[in-house]
Each structure stands twice: as structure tokens, then as C-alpha cells.
A and B are shown apart, each in its own frame.
Chain A
Amino acid sequence: MSTTLLLLVATAYVSLLFAVAYYGDERAEHGRSLVNNPYIYALSLAVYCTAWTFYGSVGYAATTGINFLPIYIGPTLIAILWWGLMRKIVRISAHQRITSIADFIGARYGKSAVLAGVATVVAVIGVVPYIAVQLKAISTSFGALTAPLQDTAAAGVPIWRDTALYAALVLAAFTILFGTRHLDVTERHEGLVVAIAFESVVKLAAFLAVGLFVTFGLYDGLGDLFQHGAAVPSIEALYTVEASTGAFADWMWLTGLSMLAVLFLPRQFQVTVVENVNEDHLRKAAWLFPLYLLLINLFVLPIAVAGLLHHGDATHADMFVLLVPFSEGQTALTLFAFIGGLSAATSMVIVATTALSTMICNDLVVPLLLRIPQLNLARRSRLTGVILGIRRVAIVVVLLFGYLYLRGLGDAPSLVSIGLISFAAVAQFAPAMLGGIFWKRGTRTGALLGLVAGVAIWGYTLPLPLLADSGWLPASFITEGPFGIGALRPYALLGMSELNPVPHTLFWTMLANGGLYVVGSLATRPSVMEQSQASRFVDVFRHAGPQGAAPWTGSAPVADLRALLRRFLGWRAADRALQRYRTRHDLKALPERADEELVDYVETLLAGAIGAASAQAVMGSVAQAKPLHIGEVMDILDETQQLMAYSRELEHKKAELEAATEELRDANQKLKEIDHLKDEFVSTVSHELRTPLTAIRAISEIMHQTTDLSPEQQRSFATTIMRETERLTRLVNQVLDLERLDATPVLDRALVDLRDVVHNALSAVRPQFEQQAITLNVTLPDRPCPARIDRDRMTQVLLNLLSNAAKYSTDADPQVAVRVTRTNDTYAVSVADNGPGIPADQQDAIFEKFRQARNRVGPQAGSGLGLAIARQIVHRHGGTLTVKSTPGAGATFTVQVPAHPPESVPSSDHEASVS
């Protein structure tokens, strides 16, 4: 096939691509976006399928059978989880205006510029070889058709005749044109996305066309094709997998690796997250994208089998897609296949370069420039141009870097192996990314340690041995290890030779990366900024919209903010953005000083243009948005402390309240008891009153009805009436007494000699004692016994005790002993009888109202109130009234009252005269 024809076709295709991209941008500018469509979105995700898929899968299938499939099955499986996982990443990125995966990681861990920078470096060294592979595929496919079946090594070609170089330059031009047309706060490139979707259609159609031609043109359907292949043992071996070869272990590792790759490859992040206009598109894309993968892989094995049948061996298996139709003389189909391969390679290069240039600019160059004070970058009037310039230079540098890598590497590794090396590199983002969106405790230090360790091991175990393959390092580096240290052999670290190189790397890097991420996170405390960002990321679904500003964002004059926005976004975009803010918040005019929310809004806008870390730095240096000073931290802490103190106070109050409630409950209980006692008292009193009344009434009736009563009988009845009446009077008096005591707690106290009180009482009862022939023994101290007491009341107490003693003197030789003794500060007046005594279980009860010891029956039944009254009087004096008794040996009642201090006796107040 002539070189001219191929160049013509290639040029025509690239021109068409430019036109499509231009059309996409035009539509976007007129507000009729093509991108706001789930099918375009799903097709743009198919940028996953590169020249590796288009050419490399067939080559790989021709040598290893179905082992090319895990790379597509992994994304299919993880896409099932996209509705939860990817939607979260998309939502976070929309809120935070994330521009790249490096920006995402940096923003998550406290807007760390260092982390974002490291992630950028990782992405660049991981992806550049991948870009190189695409360039190589373009030049190889070109070579395969112009000089078929010759060695197509790029290394031997002079540089000015190398197709790869021209491909790189054309792609650089395209990317600059559509990847950096203008600086947009959303970092979206509609024309570019439309072009990528278009390329996805082309590569799928081309591959299916070749597959259908091979299957139905050359053979009689799939079954026929496979049966032809089965006749050749080496081909039949591709139909099954031998379990013993460890191929299944590879299968599992590669499935897992490609799951991570489709999430974290910079170009996938670009199309899936950054270019996403509506997260609902994920709903369709989550199954359309796997469907695309299925379709493009359907004919891989058939083409491989047909290629092997036609060409005999797998030497040029990577180019079977072109060579099979070409050798059949199908020029048109061959050209279509060539275009398909071109579209697969170019789409990857364009998106990857765009993503890398954004990263290099936002997360590497701008933060560095901002830190060079001489440049005074933040104060330049127009930065839009500077930033776009940086990106354009980055695009050219990345592509040239890729080209140089290609020339330096020669043709040693296959498409697939370089691709897998890139996959393993971006898999290093997995711990920081997945931890970042699900685990709040992950810290910057943990992420940084994990990422650096993972990349170091990756570099040592995958790309470095390639240098040995290419002759840059001695071959013994791989076989014996550096300096002959076997444990450091790059394909068998610590002697682990079980796994193939890629699974081997994946195991060690994930162990080191994930392990250090977790340990490093737990060993360090996140800063305030990290905590704030962690919660914004992890809890993104809990908040309805982009969250409000952190309380420490500070404020700034709106004029400064406007100027800042204009410098980075240009005048029009800046004014439009502020206008949007005004409309959204329903403000007539923007305030003179921006509050925290507006400051946060501006920072997020800037983050969309220059990355989160740079935006924060710019905000800190230009507007007086306060970076977090120690003083502010203290303020925040103070606030927390005040809150804590307040809460403690509340708790204290609560405890007090509880105690009060408890007291009230007790009081209420007591009141209820007292109420109950009162009822009981009233009923008892009524009962006690009724007994004598009944007796009197009965006798009066007898006297009234019986006319012939003898004088003795009349007398006897009259006596009974008198006695009962007396008893009634006494009872009523005592009840009144008791009530009076309850009502008037005041005693008529005076300083008296206790001995006088005893004498008074004794003289009152002496006639009764003599009548009952009771022997009275009185023992009184010689000295006066001054006490401040109510003389009448105390006399009443003693009278009660003495009459009780007389009442129960049933002994043949009744004796009552009255004794007054003085201990330190109390007087004890005891009245002892030798009556029947009181059982121990009733000694308390006798002091209760209306209680009488049941077995103490005497000639005169008392009211049962006397002792109750006596005890109450004594209590009022601050003394006690107790009883000691042995049943059968009498009872001793003792009144104890406080003694008056002796020294105060002479100088007593006017009451002293009473004694």
C-alpha cells in the first residue's frame, strides 16, 4: 500500500476529527450542548480502549488465549458499583471543582500542594510510557502497511522519517487547540469530548467490521472458524486455560488491577469525572460502557485464530487486525481498520495529554511559581494567558517526552506489557482515593507515605528491569539482583518468585502503599483543614449542595475578590460568576465586604481554574482571606471550650433539678403519710368519744324507763355516769391539748429549779398515792437544778407519769420511785413502778396516740393520749422521754431535759425571778 494513500487517509481522518471537535465547541457556545447526553458520555468513557485494545489484544490472544480479557472484565465488574462509588467521586468533584485526580487527592488531604505535586509526578511517569506506546502503535501500523512483514522497529528510522514524531506533533496541535482553548472554571472541553466519542464509534465500527469480515467473509461463522483453528494444536491450546500454569492467578490479579485502572487512570478520571455534566448520566453509562467493552472484545479471539491460520505464527500478531484483511486484498477494509487503530491511539493520547497538562499546570507549576516571590504571580494583572501558556507547553513536553521514551526503549516490550506497567502505576492512587472518600481518618502524612512507598517499589520492580531489557543496565540486575543481592531481584523481592512481574509488583506496592496509608494516618492527627475537607468528601451525600464555608475562612473586600477572579479567569467569566452568585442568593448588590460564603465560593471557582492547593495559596496572599493562624485555632478551641463549659453547666443544673424533684417527692410522701395519720386520728378520737357516750346513754335510758330503781342502783348508775362524763371531759381536754401543742410550738419557758417542778407534781398526786397505799421514794439532788423549761407543761408531764405509775401499781406492795439525777449537761427525771411492766414489742407503741399497752389494764382506763402528749412536750424542750421495762418487774420512764449552763444561773434574764 502506498505511503501517500495512507498519509492522505490519515490526514483526512484527523481533519474530520478537528471538524467534529470544532462543531462540538460551537454547539456548546450556542448553548446546545452535545455533551449533555448519556450516550455521548458513555462513548467518551470508551477512551479506555486504546491501541492496546485495538492491536494489542489480538496479539496477546494469539499467544495466551483468553488472558486478554481481565483488562475488560475488571471495568465491567467495577462499573456495577459506579452508581455508588463513581457518583460519589463525581459529586465531590462537582462541589469542589476538582480538575484532575492529583487535584482530588491534594484537595482531600487538606488542599495539600505537596501531595498534589507528588500525585502529578506519579501520573506523569506512569502515563508517559503509555502515551509512547500509542505513538509506537501509530508508527507500527503505518510501517506494517507500507513495508509489510519487515522489522518495523522505530529505532532504526532516522528521526525526520519517523511517523511517530509527526503523529506526536499533530496530536500536540489538536490537544492544544481543543484541550486549552480557554480557561474554564469547570475545566470542561466539550469539543474534545465530542471528538473522543466520535473516535470511539470509529474504532468500534472498524474492529467489528474486521471481525465480521474474518468470521463471515473468510469463514462460515464463528463455529467454522474455531473448528478450523482446533485442527492446529497450538491454536486449540488457546481455547482453554491450563489451571497449572498459574494463568488463573494472573487472571484474578489483572481483573483487580484493571478495576483500579479504570477508576484512577488520569484520562478516565478526566472523561468520567471532570467532563461529567450530569451525574445521572452514570446510570446509563454504568452498563453502556461495559457493553462497549464486550462488543469490542467479541472478535478478538476469532481474529487472532484467523491470523494464526493465515500467517502461521504469532510474530506479527499485534498487527493481525490490519494484516488479515490486507493479505486478503481488502484495501478499503484495511484502510478502515487503520483508521480505527489511529482513532484508538489518538483518543487516548489527546485525553491523557489534556489531563496531564492540567495536572502539571495546576498542581506542579503554578504552586511552584506562586512560591517564588520575585515573580509576584498573584499580583499580575492577567493570568489567564500565563496559565494557558503553561498548559500548552506542558502538552508539547509530555508528547515529546513520550516520543523520546519510545526511541530510547526501542521495540523490546509489547503493547500490553507497557500498558500494564501504567496500570500498576495509577493503581498507587487507590489507597489515598478510596480511603479519601470512605474513611475520614485518613491523613495527608499517611497518603503521602503510602503513595511514595508504592511508587518507589513500582519503579524498582517494573520500569527499572525494562532498562535492563533494553541494555541500559546489565542483565544480571534482573537475574541476580543489584550487586548480587538475591533478595532484591526486581521480579522476585525477598525471593517471592511465585508471581509474574505485574502481580508481583501489585502485591508489594499495595501492601506497602495501603499499609503505610493506614498506619501513617493513624499515627498522625489530621489538621483542622484536613478534617474539614475529610468531612466534605466522605459525607458529600449528606449535604444537599456545595457546603458552606468553613468557619475560619475569614472575610475579604469584594473588590479584591473580583480583581483576583478577573486575573485568573478573565473579565467576562469573573463578572458572570459573581453575577451568578448574586442571583443564587437573591442579592440586590454584592456587599462591600464578602462574608465567608462568598470567599469560599471564589476560592472554589479559582480551584476549578488552578487547582485547590494553588487557589488556597492565592486566596491567602491576595485577598485578606485569613489563612489559619494559631490565634484562630485558639479561637475555635475557645469556642469549643465555651460550649463544653456550657454543657457542663447544663448538666449541673439538671442534677440540681433532679435532687429537688427527689426532695419534693419525699415531702409529698411524708404529707400523704401525715394525712393518713390525721384520718386515723380523727376516726380513733370519734371512736373513743363514742364509747363513754354509749355507756352514759344506755344507763340514762335504763333510768328513764325503769321507775322502781333502788337508791343503791340509782347511786351506782349516777356514779357511772359521772365517771364516764369525767372521762369524756378528760378526753376532750387532752385532744384540745394535743391540738394546741401542734398549733403553738412556742413554750412559755422560764428558768426554774427542776426540783420545784417535781415537788409540785408530787404534792398533787400524794393523796391518790396514799389512798392506794403506794410507797413513794423520792431522791433529789441537794443543789438546785436550773433548767429553762415551761413549768406547767413539765408538771403536766410528771403528773402523767406519776398517775400512770399509780394506775398500774397492781403489786401487793406497790412502790414508786422518783429520782432526779444530773449528768454533764442533762437532767434525768425517772419514775419507776413495780407494776406488770411493758412487753418489749410495745415499748415504742405506748407513746403513739390512743395506744395503751394492752395487758396494762388498770382500774381506770386512760384516754391513750397522755404519753403521746408527754413525749411531745419533752421533745419540744429538746429532751427525750424513754421507757425501760422488764415485764413482771415494773417500768421506768425517764425524762431527759438539757440543763441550763450553771454559770448563767445568777445572771439570767428577767425570767429568773420566777424561781
Chain B
Amino acid sequence: MPMDTLEVQRRLIALFVAGCMLLGYPLLTVYSLPQTIGGIPMLYLAIFVIWAALIGASAAILHRATGGSSGGASQ
């Protein structure tokens, strides 16, 4: 279901804030543990998983965005 531009913007801003929180201080200290999961350090794994999730969420929101094609940027 396509969303209007404003709704897309709102969701993207919310995602941006969430991303800043999840990949920023002080939440990072939570992942910065000596434990490993399958031999992979916790911090390293956590960052890449969150990173991938952010990209996925952003793609999902942008996929539903409308109104981009109406832009007159192209000749």
C-alpha cells in the first residue's frame, strides 16, 4: 500500500532516531561484552545485525513511498 510523502518522512525520521540510539552511546556499551556467539564477538555481531536491520527497514519504507516519480529532476 503506497504511503503519502509525509507519512514516509515521519517513519524515516523515526527510523533515523532509532538507528542513532541503537548504534550509539550508551547502548553500545550493552553489546560490548567479552562473550562470543558461535565464536564471533558479541559487539561485532550486534553492530552488523542492527546495521542490516536498519537497511531492511529503510528499504521497506522507501519501497512504499510514492511521489518520487512526479519529480521533475530528470530532463
- A residues with a Cβ closer than 8 A to B are 36, 66, 69, 73, 76-81, 83-84, 87, 90-91, 94-95, 186, 221-227, 230, 236, 239-241, 243, 248-249, 251-252, 255, 276-280, 282-284, 286-287, 290-291, 294, 298, 301, 544-546
Distance A758 CA – B34 CA, assembled complex (angstroms): 128
Chain B 34-73 per-residue mask, 1 if CB under 8 angstroms from chain A, else 0 = 1010111111100110011011001100110100110111
Q: Is there a chain A Cβ closer than 8 Å to B1's Cβ?
A: no
- B73 to chain A minimum Cβ distance, whole angstroms, is 4
Contacts A77-B16, A80-B16, A241-B32; A94 near B72 (Cβ below 8 A): yes
Shortest Cβ distance from A80 into B: residue:
B16
How many residues belonging to B are interface residues under a CB distance threshold of 8 Å?
43
**Across the interface, which residues of B come within 8 angstroms of A283, CB to CB?**
62-63, 65, 68
Q: Which listed residue, A36, A221, A280, A546, touches B69 by the CB 8 Å rule? A: A280
Distance A255 CA – B48 CA, assembled complex (angstroms): 15
Shortest Cβ distance from B43 into A: residue:
A240
- A470 to chain B minimum Cβ distance, whole angstroms, is 34
Inter-subunit contact B43/A248 (CB<8 Å): no
Known interface pairs A73-B23, A284-B62; 12 further A-B residue pairs with C-beta atoms within 8 A, sorted by A's residue number: A76-B51, A83-B9, A87-B71, A222-B39, A223-B38, A226-B39, A240-B41, A241-B28, A241-B32, A243-B29, A255-B20, A255-B23
**Across the interface, which residues of A come within 8 angstroms of B71, CB to CB?**
87, 91, 278-280
Inter-subunit contact A66/B58 (CB<8 Å): no
Chain B 1-43 per-residue mask, 1 if CB under 8 angstroms from chain A, else 0 = 0000000110011011001100111101100111010111111
Shortest Cβ distance from B37 into A: residue:
A223
Inter-subunit contact B41/A83 (CB<8 Å): no
Inter-subunit contact B36/A76 (CB<8 Å): no
Inter-subunit contact A73/B13 (CB<8 Å): no
Distance A158 CA – B51 CA, assembled complex (angstroms): 46
Shortest Cβ distance from B74 into A: residue:
A278
Distance A106 CA – B28 CA, assembled complex (angstroms): 40
**Across the interface, which residues of A come within 8 angstroms of B8, CB to CB?**
83
Contacts A230-B36, A283-B65; A80 near B15 (Cβ below 8 A): yes
Inter-subunit contact A80/B48 (CB<8 Å): no
Shortest Cβ distance from B51 into A: residue:
A294
Q: Which listed residue, B44, B59, B65, touches A66 by the CB 8 Å rule? A: B44
Shortest Cβ distance from B12 into A: residue:
A80
Closest 8 CB pairs of A and B: A223-B39, A239-B41, A279-B73, A280-B68, A287-B59, A248-B25, A278-B74, A279-B71
Contacts A239-B34, A286-B62, A301-B44; A276 near B12 (Cβ below 8 A): no
Contacts A248-B25, A277-B73, A278-B73; A298 near B48 (Cβ below 8 A): yes
Inter-subunit contact B39/A227 (CB<8 Å): yes
Inter-subunit contact B54/A80 (CB<8 Å): yes
Shortest Cβ distance from A541 into B: residue:
B5
Q: By CB atoms of chain B within 10 A, which of A186, A223, A249, A545 has the most?
A: A223
Shortest Cβ distance from A286 into B: residue:
B62
Q: Which listed residue, A226, A255, A282, touches B41 by the CB 8 Å rule? A: A226
Distance A80 CA – B59 CA, assembled complex (angstroms): 9
Distance A2 CA – B52 CA, assembled complex (angstroms): 41
Contacts A81-B16, A83-B8; A252 near B25 (Cβ below 8 A): yes
Distance A239 CA – B20 CA, assembled complex (angstroms): 21
Q: Which listed residue, B9, B20, B55, touches A287 by the CB 8 Å rule? A: B55
Inter-subunit contact A255/B74 (CB<8 Å): no
Inter-subunit contact B73/A243 (CB<8 Å): no
Inter-subunit contact A249/B25 (CB<8 Å): yes
Distance A236 CA – B9 CA, assembled complex (angstroms): 42
Inter-subunit contact B54/A223 (CB<8 Å): no
**Across the interface, which residues of A come within 8 angstroms of B48, CB to CB?**
294, 298
Distance A280 CA – B20 CA, assembled complex (angstroms): 25
Distance A255 CA – B38 CA, assembled complex (angstroms): 29
Inter-subunit contact B73/A248 (CB<8 Å): no
Distance A230 CA – B44 CA, assembled complex (angstroms): 13
Inter-subunit contact A282/B68 (CB<8 Å): yes
- A795 to chain B minimum Cβ distance, whole angstroms, is 89
Distance A277 CA – B74 CA, assembled complex (angstroms): 5
Q: Which listed residue, A87, A224, A279, A290, touches B58 by the CB 8 Å rule? A: A290
- B51 to chain A minimum Cβ distance, whole angstroms, is 5
User: Would you give 24 A-B contacts (Cβ < 8 Å), ordered by A?
Assistant: A66-B44, A66-B47, A76-B51, A77-B23, A80-B12, A80-B16, A81-B13, A81-B16, A84-B9, A222-B40, A223-B39, A225-B39, A226-B39, A230-B36, A239-B43, A240-B32, A240-B43, A241-B29, A277-B74, A279-B73, A283-B65, A294-B48, A298-B48, A544-B72
Distance A294 CA – B44 CA, assembled complex (angstroms): 12
**Across the interface, which residues of A come within 8 angstroms of B54, CB to CB?**
76-77, 80, 290
Q: Which listed residue, B19, B23, B36, touches A226 by the CB 8 Å rule? A: B36
Shortest Cβ distance from A222 into B: residue:
B40
Q: Which listed residue, A69, A226, A279, touches B68 by the CB 8 Å rule? A: A279
**Across the interface, which residues of B come within 8 angstroms of A224, CB to CB?**
39
Distance A87 CA – B36 CA, assembled complex (angstroms): 41
**Across the interface, which residues of A come within 8 angstroms of B55, CB to CB?**
76, 287, 290-291, 294
- A700 to chain B minimum Cβ distance, whole angstroms, is 93
- B54 to chain A minimum Cβ distance, whole angstroms, is 6
Inter-subunit contact B40/A226 (CB<8 Å): yes
Shortest Cβ distance from A219 into B: residue:
B39
**Across the interface, which residues of B come within 8 angstroms of A243, CB to CB?**
29, 32
**Across the interface, which residues of B come within 8 angstroms of A79, CB to CB?**
58
**Across the interface, which residues of A come within 8 angstroms of B23, CB to CB?**
73, 77, 255
**Across the interface, which residues of B come within 8 angstroms of A76, CB to CB?**
19, 51, 54-55
Distance A791 CA – B75 CA, assembled complex (angstroms): 100
Distance A240 CA – B65 CA, assembled complex (angstroms): 38
**Across the interface, which residues of B come within 8 angstroms of A227, CB to CB?**
36, 39
Contacts A77-B19, A226-B40, A239-B34; A545 near B72 (Cβ below 8 A): yes
Shortest Cβ distance from A81 into B: residue:
B16
Inter-subunit contact B19/A80 (CB<8 Å): yes
**Across the interface, which residues of B come within 8 angstroms of A240, CB to CB?**
32-34, 41-43
Shortest Cβ distance from A93 into B: residue:
B73
- A185 to chain B minimum Cβ distance, whole angstroms, is 10
- A31 to chain B minimum Cβ distance, whole angstroms, is 11
Distance A84 CA – B63 CA, assembled complex (angstroms): 14
**Across the interface, which residues of A come within 8 angstroms of B68, CB to CB?**
83, 87, 279-280, 282-283
Q: By CB atoms of chain B within 10 A, which of A79, A91, A240 has the most?
A: A240
Inter-subunit contact A84/B12 (CB<8 Å): yes
**Across the interface, which residues of A come within 8 angstroms of B47, CB to CB?**
66, 69, 73
- B50 to chain A minimum Cβ distance, whole angstroms, is 9
Shortest Cβ distance from A230 into B: residue:
B36
Distance A854 CA – B59 CA, assembled complex (angstroms): 96
Distance A84 CA – B16 CA, assembled complex (angstroms): 12
Inter-subunit contact B75/A223 (CB<8 Å): no
Distance A689 CA – B62 CA, assembled complex (angstroms): 93
Distance A544 CA – B71 CA, assembled complex (angstroms): 8
Shortest Cβ distance from A186 into B: residue:
B75
**Across the interface, which residues of B come within 8 angstroms of A78, CB to CB?**
16
Inter-subunit contact B32/A83 (CB<8 Å): no
- B18 to chain A minimum Cβ distance, whole angstroms, is 9
Shortest Cβ distance from B34 into A: residue:
A240
